[in-house]
Amino acid sequence: MSTSAFGTYGGRYVPETLIPALDELERGWRDALADDTFHAELHALLTTYAGRPTPLTLSERFAPGKRIYLKREDLLHTGAHKLNNALGQIVLAQRLGKRRIVAETGAGQHGVATATVCAKFGLECIVYMGEEDIRRQKPNVERMGLLGAEVRPVDFGTKTLKEATSEAIRDWITNVETTHYLIGSCVGPAPYPELVAELQSVIGREAREQHLAAEGRLPEAVIAAVGGGSNAIGIFHGFLDDADVRLVGVEAAGAASLGTGRAGVLHGARSSVLADEDGQIADAHSISAGLDYPGVGPEHAFLRDSGRASYVGATDEEALRAFRDLARTEGIIPALEPSHALARARELDAELILVCLSGRGDKDLAEALLGLEKLA
Amino acid sequence: MKKLVIYLMAEPETPELARAAVDGGADIVELGFPFSDPLADGPVIRRAAERALSRGMRTRECLDVLRQTHELVPGTPLIPMTYSSLLEAYGWERFADDVQTAGGSSMIVADLPVDVRPETRRVQLVAPTSTDERIALAGANTDGWLYLVTVTGTTGARGEVSSALPSLVERARRLVSVPLYAGFGISTPEHARSVAELADGIVVGSRALQVAEEGPDALREYVASLRSALDTVAVVA
């Protein structure tokens, strides 16, 4: 068995047509990493356009008795951490000479981030989105349209992120010469998981410094929601070498690729996936479109097996309660995705906790209010 | 003689359909083992896979269909075509062993490029985007023949034969010594003839699946029309 940076996870399980493009991407990425002008351009965009660094906010009322710090990716331009990755990849796409961008989106946050950077750089943008997600994330569909992107509905299978990702990859296979596939999470064939993790690791680097400045020590635990896993990998990367800091990923209970999945191959990588005993991919279920995905980044599977990170689940109801409670106690409306992390953070057996507040909840209001009504 | 490869999705009716295809002049039958997320496939094969899965066609059932098909057309090479996830779940070696036991001649794994798991013996695919180095590697590792993907794209019928094919065939001829069969996008006798002017054989999938919906007689007739087109080329060449 071939090995990668993530043990037996990762790899390139894609049709041959894509291999030269992945080689080209990998070369372009290595060149960019070694090039000061790439880092300077990205840094300028992150600070003057995206709004980095994002603040660290101490929340004292949400979970009495604990000191929970929120890394405020919800305050980033476009309202979620997704822009860190989209900006990095668009600068890379420019270096590769690609003028057409395709992306998949679940909650719509990655689609909006991609549409945003394409508008800024004047590139053609096509976003694949499942019909079920179009229904439940309407504000983001409207934003993408306004930004000049074409949203292509995917009307088969689960009609969510899984199928949208497959269609984006099929588009890439068909238009590979002209197109960059701007994947939204740390999933997919190599080098994407590593590339996205590196672009998101700015979250962890900033948060570690900010936490040290605020508390004079590191947090006991770092906790983040995991769908594909990019915000979690981004914040975890800041603390991987701090053996005393617990890393906790929180999956949606109905989409627990790490908690209840098995080794499998989905969307170009070997990882832990929700699948039946024959390898057929199972449907995921979550109120949060961003977590409603049966796969997860291969690095998370590796971190789980190595014991460096642990992964737990939160139900739709627990996430909804945390969503409401953060709004009422801190005046912050979180997205439903990080609401899963908040739900586990407040009952974690630790006092000093860092939570990645990966996005804001405006997009979720309709779905969340409906869900809260049912709870009452 | 140019070779004719027909793709059918593994379902309970498939052994009869395979016999019809062989009667019509197919030399090899590819047997699709359906996967829920087939990245290399266009809408026709994707929908066929969805239906097969909804009818309970999992790996064991597909192997049974392979066995039954082999009993009906014992002289025809049968080649399962599927995706890595099925092998990962079933066990890579066990899958290859059980395919062979059931009468399979080789296999094709659509999302397994030549440098991943080279120990898994299979028919390799190359595409117009493949470098010379990769074509040579695929040619050296392939099992019997090399599958030329004629287009940068997914499976499915197209209006015209790919303009990328001539240069791909030219490169492959220079780099490998095995027969070259071309597939993806071929649906009509005219396509078949023009592709066979270049390649040693053709693979027809999506259109064959659509015709197979009309039953074995329609499939036999359709395959025979492709056969005649290929035989014209063989005579000319």
Domains of chain A: 16-43+82-181 (3.40.50.1100), 52-80+201-375 (3.40.50.1100)
B115 counts as catalytic: no
pLDDT, tens digit (0-9, with 9 covering 90-100), for B65-82: 999 999 999 999 999 999
Three-class SS state of B94: helix
Distant-in-sequence, close-in-space partners of B211: CB < 8 Å, separation ≥ 6: B218, B219, B222
Residues 132-161 of A with CB under 8 A from B: 156-157
- CA of A214 vs chain B CAs: smallest distance (Å): 47
A82 counts as catalytic: yes
Band (pLDDT 50/70/90 cuts) for residue A141 is: very high
C-beta atoms of B58 and A278 within 8 A: yes
The region, left, alpha or beta by phi > 0 then psi within -120 to 50, assigned to residue A98 is beta
- Cis-peptide into A191, omega within 30 deg: yes
Query: Is residue A344 within 8 Å of residue A253, measured between CB atoms?
Result: no
Q: What angle do CA A243, A249, A250 make, to 5 degrees?
A: 155
Query: Is residue A314 within 8 Å of residue A84, measured between CB atoms?
Result: no
Whole-angstrom distance between the N-terminal and C-terminal Cα of chain B?
9
**Annotated active-site residue in A71, A82, A98, A159:** A82
Q: Report the half-sphere exposure of A346 (CA within 13 A, side-chain side).
A: 20
Which of A171, A278, A293 should we substitute to test contact with B (largest number of B Cβ atoms within 10 Å)? A278
| Chain A residue numbers touching B135 (CB-CB < 8 A) | none
Q: Quick one: pLDDT at residue B157?
A: 82
**Annotated active-site residue in B41, B132, B143, B217:** B41
C-beta atoms of B125 and A16 within 8 A: yes
Distant-in-sequence, close-in-space partners of A159: CB < 8 Å, separation ≥ 6: A130, A131, A132, A133
- pLDDT > 90 in chain A, percent: 94
- CA of A261 vs chain B CAs: smallest distance (Å): 12
Inform me whether the C-beta atom of residue B35 falls under 8 Å from chain A C-beta atoms: yes
Show the DSSP H helices in A34-81 as ranges: 36-45
Three-class SS state of A246: strand
Query: Is residue A150 within 8 Å of residue A167, measured between CB atoms?
Result: no
| Chain A residue numbers touching B131 (CB-CB < 8 A) | 20
- Chain A to chain B, count of Cβ pairs less than 8 Å apart? 122
Q: Among all residues of chain A, which has the CA nearest to that of B108?
A: A15
d(CA B31, CA B65): 9
Q: Quick one: pLDDT at residue B151?
A: 87
Distant-in-sequence, close-in-space partners of B100: CB < 8 Å, separation ≥ 6: none
Query: Is residue A207 within 8 Å of residue A238, measured between CB atoms?
Result: yes
Which of A4, A17, A158, A283 should we substitute to test contact with B (largest number of B Cβ atoms within 10 Å)? A17
**Annotated active-site residue in A104, A167, A251, A330:** A104
What token pair was written down for B7? 């793709």
d(CA A323, CA A339): 5
Which CATH number fits the domain that encloses residue B174? 3.20.20.70
Q: Quick one: pLDDT at residue A1?
A: 41
**Annotated active-site residue in B11, B23, B27, B30:** B30
Structurally, how many domains does chain B consist of? Answer: 1
Inform me whether the C-beta atom of residue A15 falls under 8 Å from chain B C-beta atoms: yes
Band (pLDDT 50/70/90 cuts) for residue A2 is: very low
Q: Quick one: pLDDT at residue A74?
A: 98
**Helix and strand element counts for chain B (H, E):** 10, 8
pLDDT, tens digit (0-9, with 9 covering 90-100), for B104-136: 999 999 999 999 999 999 999 999 999 999 999
**Parent domain of B217:** 3-236
d(CA A361, CA A142): 16
Three-class SS state of A279: coil
C-beta atoms of A1 and B134 within 8 A: no
C-beta atoms of B130 and A21 within 8 A: no
d(CA B125, CA B110): 8
Q: Quick one: pLDDT at residue A376?
A: 80
Q: Which of A11, A14, A278 sits opposite B89 (nearest CB)?
A: A278
Inform me whether the C-beta atom of residue B37 falls under 8 Å from chain A C-beta atoms: yes
> For the complex shown, is ipTM > 0.90?
yes
Q: Quick one: pLDDT at residue B42?
A: 94
Inform me whether the C-beta atom of residue A275 falls under 8 Å from chain B C-beta atoms: yes
Whole-angstrom distance between the N-terminal and C-terminal Cα of chain A?
52
Query: Is residue B114 within 8 Å of residue B85, measured between CB atoms?
Result: no
- What's the mean pLDDT when you consider all of chain A? 96
Ranges of chain B with pLDDT below 50: 236-237
Inform me whether the C-beta atom of residue A263 falls under 8 Å from chain B C-beta atoms: yes
